[in-house]
Amino acid sequence: MKVYEAEKVATARKCMVWTIGGLMALLLAACGSTASIGKEGGSAGTDSASGVETTPSKGPVKLVFYSTSGWTPEAFNERFGDAMRKKFPEYTIEYIQSGKGAGLADLMAAGQQIDVFWQAVDVTIQQMQEYKLEYDMSDLIKKHNLDLGTLEKSSIDAVRALSDGKMYALPLVINTAALYYNKDLFDKFGVPYPKDGMTWDEVIELAKRMNRTDGGQTYYGLGTSITHNLSLNPQSVPYVDRKTEKATILTDSRWKSIFENMVEAYKTAGGAGKNPTQFVQDKNIAMTEGLANLFLNLDMTTLNWDMITYPTYKEATGKAPQPYPTLFGITSTSKFKDEAFQVLKHMLSEQEQLSLSERAVIPVLQKDNVLKAFGTKSKYQGKNFQSIVSRKFSPMPDKTKYDSKAQPIYNKYVPDVAKGDLDLNTAFRKIDEDMTKMIAEEKAR
């Protein structure tokens, strides 16, 4: 855990007392107070520089951020913490990294205060609800005049769905799926680079050309991610029907083409183990699918790489994958809800969203100038960063509280089908059975 103490800000204001009969006591009381808009000990008002509405503080403000993601303090600070402290030097911004002895259950048992909980969209609200940390921010959104209409729509819709119509969190940034390729391998074997706009069928055929052994070294044409291929599918198929609370695997015909594609990609990749880390470190994979922030989480400076638009399905030509937002929720136990909201609102300002976009972090503010700046200040120059943000995201389907546990069930049987141990129909029936059991268990909790 790394604690960052904000520099204390002291303000003073001299007052002139007017000796006018009935106002004497009131004015003397005002002169005895200390006021500073937007600063510790300040009065309510609006910071004209940022449009952040301020509220009277309750003394020293410490905001504790926590995520079960395992992010390092350095990563948190680079994306969020440093900008928060720069704007609000009077607040202490503390980040607790999860790990051994610092899991959410551990912290709750120890009575550790958490003011803002954050994680990926499929787990944030569920984990908050497990410990009764959820808090509806709808009133704060109105009070501080945050315009949700400027943010990526399906991310907001997902929060409302998971919050039963409320707003238990706000999306600050987005992830999605991307396709990377090793330029050196394509050069080595004289095969043209992949291009934007390719379908999965075209990518799979290209991968087959790159599958080979040369000089005793095995090269793989494609690395796959079953999880992201299914969960971010551009056809926006939900795992669970929100109305019936039943799995959609047997009732939505779109799953058939998605699974057929995934199975073929998995077979082409040669099975498990061909992941993005191997793509970067071993340099023996020609292409790999993965999250669009791969280059933010792994050092790719020694790899001659680029990227293209995530492949589309022939049934959904030209459609981008779904967004995968990161949500930040103010907790029910926070004593500084207004202050925490001010910080989150600032991170959604055009200034901060533009800064994130320039560093190749996908902004949730989907304005043209913000998106056009994507990756322009990344340490990886000359990359096809626009391939990530040039297309409008496919909408996320209706989210349910079962999604995080549904995901591994849907993934489970792809390897067996690819190996020929199961046919697709049998796999679908098994998925449906497993889903029915899981949902029943969740309802009984």
Res 343 pLDDT > 60? yes
Model confidence band, residue 315 (pLDDT cutoffs 50, 70, 90): confident
| Residue at 43 is within a domain | no
DSSP string across 330-391: E-TT-S-HHHHHHHHHHHTSHHHHHHHHHTTPEESB--HHHHHTTTTT-SSTT--THHHHSS
Give the range of the structural domain holding residue 258, as residue numbers without chain letter: 177-321+402-444
Residues 272, 339: one domain?
Answer: no
| Residue at 14 is within a domain | no
Residues 94, 139: one domain?
Answer: yes
> Coil, strand, or helix at residue 36?
coil
Model confidence band, residue 12 (pLDDT cutoffs 50, 70, 90): very low
In this structure, of 28-37, 238-247, 269-278, the range with the lowest mean pLDDT score is 28-37
| Residue at 16 is within a domain | no
**Burial class of residue 374 in the structure, from the number of CB atoms within 10 Å of its CB (0-12 exposed, 13-18 middle, 19+ buried):** buried
pLDDT single digits (tens) 17-53 = 333 333 333 333 333 333 332 333 333 344 433 444 4
Q: For residues 262-276, give the mean pLDDT.
A: 80
- Residues near 308 by beta carbon (within 8 Å), at least 6 away in sequence: 179, 181, 194, 195, 196, 197, 198, 384, 387
Res 11 pLDDT > 50? no
| Residue at 45 is within a domain | no
Residues 90, 110: one domain?
Answer: yes
Candidate ranges 259-263, 265-269, 375-379; pick with highest mean pLDDT: 375-379
Please identify, among 372, 391, 412, the residue that sits at the C-terminal boundary of a domain: 372
| Residue at 77 is within a domain | yes
User: What's the mean per-residue pLDDT of the chain?
Assistant: 88
| Residue at 29 is within a domain | no
Residues 409, 265: one domain?
Answer: yes
Per the model's pLDDT, the better-predicted residue between 16 and 277 turns out to be 277
pLDDT of residue 57: 53
pLDDT of residue 273: 55
Res 261 pLDDT > 50? yes
Residues 68, 102: one domain?
Answer: yes
Model confidence band, residue 272 (pLDDT cutoffs 50, 70, 90): low
Model confidence band, residue 316 (pLDDT cutoffs 50, 70, 90): confident
pLDDT of residue 221: 95
| Residue at 84 is within a domain | yes
Residues 274, 367: one domain?
Answer: no
What are the φ and ψ backbone dihedral angles of 213, each rounded to 5 degrees? -120, 130
Residues 420, 345: one domain?
Answer: no
Residues 187, 171: one domain?
Answer: no
Res 170 pLDDT > 50? yes
Tokens read off for 403: 């999604």
What are the φ and ψ backbone dihedral angles of 365, each rounded to 5 degrees? -80, 110
Q: For residues 398-416, give the mean pLDDT.
A: 94
Cβ atoms 265, 201 nearer than 8 A: no
Model confidence band, residue 269 (pLDDT cutoffs 50, 70, 90): confident
Rounded Cα distance between 265 and 428, Å, is: 18
Question: Any idea what DSSP says for residue 170?
Answer: E
Res 14 pLDDT > 80? no
pLDDT single digits (tens) 118-152 = 999 999 999 999 999 999 999 999 999 999 999 99
Res 297 pLDDT > 60? yes
Tokens read off for 170: 């706000």
pLDDT of residue 241: 97
Residues 66, 125: one domain?
Answer: yes
Residues 287, 335: one domain?
Answer: no
Strand spans (E) along 177-312: 177-182, 212-214, 217-219, 240-241, 246-247, 287-291, 305-308
In this structure, of 32-36, 216-220, 344-348, 391-395, the range with the lowest mean pLDDT score is 32-36
Please choose, from the candidates 350, 357, 321, the residue with its C-alpha nearest in 3D space to the C-alpha of residue 150. Answer: 350
pLDDT of residue 44: 38
Residues 258, 208: one domain?
Answer: yes
Residues 315, 304: one domain?
Answer: yes
Q: What is the pTM of this model?
A: 0.84
Res 160 pLDDT > 80? yes
| Residue at 389 is within a domain | no
How many domains does the chain divide into?
2
**Burial class of residue 333 in the structure, from the number of CB atoms within 10 Å of its CB (0-12 exposed, 13-18 middle, 19+ buried):** middle
* Domain containing residue 289: CATH number: 3.40.190.10
State percent of the chain over pLDDT 70: 86
Per the model's pLDDT, the better-predicted residue between 136 and 70 turns out to be 136
